[in-house]
Chain A
Amino acid sequence: MDYVIEMLGIRKEFGSFVANDNITLQLKKGEIHALLGENGAGKSTLMNVLFGLYQPEAGEIKVKGKTVKITDPNVANDLGIGMVHQHFMLVENFTVTENIILGNELTKAGVVDIKDAAKKIRKLSEMYGLDVDPNAKIEDISVGMQQRVEILKTLYRGADILIFDEPTASLTPQEINELIQIMKRLIQEGKSIILITHKLKEIMDVSDRVTVIRKGEGIGTVVTAETNPNELASLMVGRQVEFKTVKSEANPTDETLVIKDLVVADYRGIDKVRGLNLTVRKGEILGIAGIDGNGQSELIEAITGLRKTKAGTVSINGQDITNKKPRKITESGVGHIPQDRHKHGLVLDFSIGHNIALQTYYQEPISKNGFMNYSKVSELAQKVIKDFDVRTQGEHTPARALSGGNQQKAIIGREVIRDPELLIAALPTRGLDVGAIEFIHQRLIEQRDNGKAVLLLSFELDEVMNVSDRIAVIYDGQIVDTLLPKETSEQELGLLMAGQKKNSNKVKQGETTHVE
C-alpha cells in the first residue's frame, strides 16, 4: 500500500497527562483523510507531533515509506508537509505575496524579488483554482480568501501533504462550499490532505477515510462511504448520540422572567432593542430565534445588568431588576452562560477552580469575613469538574489550557450548580462537538424539569427547534412572533427571522432567509 504518511503507535505525554496514546494514522496518496475527535481529544497534539512542534514519547513516523524524525517545523516543511492553521498567521498590512514569501524571500542582488514571486503565486493560484490576487492586502480580503492565502503559502513552499486544522470554523456556508471544491482540486493535482474537524457533515461530504480518536486514544480508521454520521458520532463520543434531543412535555407554571416594553441602545447609542415584550415561565425553555444583530446581545446584557436600559422593565419572580447591578441580578436568581466565554465567562489566566468560584467567591462557605477559604473553592471546583464532566488535568490547570467544550462545561457547571430561577444560555454550544452539545442540551432540559425557567439564545435553527418548548422570533429589536416547535417549520421561522410577517405568502425578491 502506498502511504505518504504513517504515524504508528504515537504516544505523547505532558507530565502525567497522556494526550496521545497509541494512535495510528495512515494517509494514502491522493486522499482526504479526516481526523475526527471531540474538543480536547488530542487531534491538535497529534498534528503538532507530525509538524515537529512536539516530540512523541513513543511511536514511529514514516514519510513515503521512510522512517523520519521531525524535530522542528522546518524539517516538516522539507518533507513536504504543510499546515493550514485554524488561526491564520498573516501580517494584516502586507500583501498576499509578501505574506507568502515571508521567511522564504527570493532575492536578486540583495533585493527581494517581489515581481517574480507574485508571478509564481499567480500561477499556483490558477493551477488550483484559488482565484487569489497576489497584490491584494490581507486586511482588504475576506476570511475565506485569507485561508486560501494560507493554502498558497504551503503550496509555494512545495508541500504535497496538507494539514487543515478546523478549516471551516470561521467560514460562511458559501465559503465552506468553495473550500470543499478547492480541496477536491488539490487532490486531483496529486496532493494528499489531512482534515482535522469535529463536524460530521463535512467529513461525510469530502473525506475518503476517517481516523477517530477519543480521549487521546486511537479508536480506528473507517472508510467514509461505509459509515454514517450516527456511527461516527458514537465512535467519537464512545456511546450512542441522540441527534434529536429527547425530552418530555414541558409543564410550565408561573411567570419567572417578565420583560415589558424594553428599549436598549448599543454602544453607539442606537436602539437595538425596541419595545420588546417577553415572558419565560417556570418549567419551560424559551428559545430566541433570530439572525445575529437583531438586538439579541443587547437584550441579554440588559437582563443581566451589563448594559443600561433606556425604557421598559425587567422582573424576576415579580421582583423588579431593571438596571440593577449585575451582582444584585445574580442574587435575584439569574444564572448566565455568556455569549462570549473568553470575554465574559472566564478569567483565562485564573485556574479553572478559581473560575468555578467566580460567582460565589464572596459568599459563605467559599469565603468568610473577607477571607477566602481555598479548600472550599477546591471542593466546589472538584464537584463541578466531576458532575459536569469537565476534562482537565485538575482544578489548578489554567482555564486557558482547556478546550472550548470543557471551558463551556465549567461555566455551565458554575451557573447551574447555583440552581438559578432563570438560566440564560447565550449560544451555549457555539464551536462545540456533538458530544458536548448533547450534554449541554440535557443540562438545560434538566434545569427545566426541575421547574426552573430557561432562556436559550441561539443562531442555529436546529438547536432552537430541538431544545425549546416555545420559540420567540426576534427581528429588529422586537419579538415578532412566539410559536411552538411542533407547530412550525424551519421555513416559517426563517421567514419570520427575515422580517416577513406571519401568514404573508409573498416573499420579497432579494430578501434572504439565510441563517447562520
Chain B
Amino acid sequence: MSNRVVNILVPVISVILGLLVGAIVMLVSGYDPIAGYSALWNGIFGDTYAIGETIRQITPYLLAGLSVAFAFRTGLFNIGVEGQLLVGWFAAAYVGIAFDLPMYIHLPFAIIAAALAGAAWAFIPGLLKAKLQVHEVIVTIMMNYIALHTTNALIKIVSDGGDNTGTINASASLKSAFFESITDYSRLHYGIFIALAMVLLMWFILDKTTTGYELKAVGFNKHASEYAGMNVNKNIILSMVISGAFAGLAGAMEALGTFQYANVKGGFTGIGFDGIAVALLGANTPLGVIFGAVLFGSLKYGALNMPNEAGIPVEIVSIVIAIIIFFVACGYVIRYFLEKATKKKEAK
C-alpha cells in the first residue's frame, strides 16, 4: 500500500470506527443509533441553514487551532487561547460600539484591535518565559481566568452595570446579507474568509520567511539557534504574540460576526481549549488545522440537532462526539495496523 493511500485511509477508517463505537454506546443506552446519526447528519448538512451555521462554527475553531499550532511549532504550549480569545472578543466589541466610522476604517480597526488585544495577552507569558523561564503553561492557564473575569467586569462598566455591551455598529459588522440570503438567515458571516486567509498566512510565515525559519529552529533546538546567532528570547516572545493574535481574531469572529456583541460569561467558551485538539489533530500544520476545525466544528454544531430530532440526551451526544474525535486522534494505531497488514502481504 502506498503512503498516499494509507494517508487517506487512516482518517476514513478512524471516523468509521468512531461512528461504530458511538453507535454501540447509543444502542446500549437504549437509543436508535441510525436515528441519532441521521440527526447528526441533518444537523450538519440537512439544509442550507445548517450548512451555514456549521461553517460559522468552524470559523473560530480554525483560528483557535492556528493559534495553538503556531505556538507549538516554536516549541511553546499556548493553553491561553481561551483567555486571548476573550480579550479579543471584548476589544472588537468595544471598538464596534464606541466608534462611529466609515466601514472601511471601522471594520479593520475592530479586527486589528482584537488581534492586538490577544497578542498583548499572550505577550505576558511570552516575556515571562523568555526572561525568567516561567513555564508558559502555568501562566497562560492563569491568564485565562484573569481574562474571563476582567472582560466580564469591563463589559459591566461599558454597559453601565448590564451584562451585555449591546449590538455593535453596522460599520464594524462582519454580517453578510449575501450569506444570509443563500443560507436561510443563518449567522454565517464573512469571517470565514479572514480565517482562511490566516491559514495561508501561517503557512507563509513558517515556510517562506526568515522569521519562520528562525521560529522553527528555536522550537527544535534553542542551543543551536543561539549558536547560529538567533535571538532566542525574541523568537519566543514573537511566537506567543503571533499565536495570541490568531486567538484574538477568533474572538473578533464572535464579536463582529456571530453575536454582534460581547456579554458577561459564566464560564469559558471552550473554543480555546478545543483549539488544542484541533491543532493536534492537524499535526500543527496549516492544512491539518483546516481538517481539524472542519471535523470539530461540524460535529459540535451537528450534535445540537441530536436531542431535538432523535431524542438522545445531551450527555450521550457528548460521549458519542468525544468517541469519534478520540478515534481520529488515535489515527496512528490504525496506521500501525495498516502497515502491519501491508508488511504481511509483502512477506507472502
Contact = CB atoms under 8 A, between A and B. Distances in A.
A372 B224 contact: no
Q: Chain B interface: which size bin?
A: 20 to 34
A113 B42 CA distance: 61
Contacts, number: 67
A344 B224 CA distance: 4
A441 B140 CA distance: 50
Given A343-B223, A349-B220, A358 B209 contact: no
B210 A362 contact: yes
Nearest to A325: B229
Interface string A327-368: 110100000101000011111111000100111011000010
B220 A347 contact: yes
Contact of B347 (A55, A330, A358): A55
B227 A345 contact: yes
A359 B209 contact: no
Contacts of B216: 350
A354 B224 CA distance: 13
Contacts of A359: 228-229
Interface in B216-235: 216-217, 220-221, 223-230
Given A55-B347, A371-B210, A372-B213, A326 B227 contact: yes
A510 interface: no
B342 interface: no
B74 to A, nearest CB: 13
Contacts of A343: 221, 223-224
Given A325-B229, A326-B227, A350 B217 contact: yes
A303 B214 CA distance: 23
Nearest to B210: A367
Give the secondary structure class of B's interface. helix
A358 B228 contact: yes
Contact of A348 (B212, B220, B227): B220
A306 B227 contact: yes
Nearest to A349: B220
A306 B217 CA distance: 17
B131 interface: no
Contacts of B208: 371-372
Contact of B210 (A345, A347, A349, A370): A370
Contacts of A338: 227
B318 interface: no
B181 interface: no
Given A343-B223, A372-B209, 14 more contacts: A71-B347, A306-B226, A327-B229, A328-B229, A347-B225, A348-B221, A350-B220, A357-B213, A358-B228, A359-B229, A362-B210, A370-B211, A371-B208, A372-B207
Interface of B: 207-214, 216-217, 220-221, 223-230, 343, 347
14 contacts: A306-B226, A306-B227, A327-B230, A345-B227, A347-B217, A347-B221, A349-B220, A349-B221, A350-B216, A354-B213, A361-B228, A362-B210, A371-B208, A371-B210
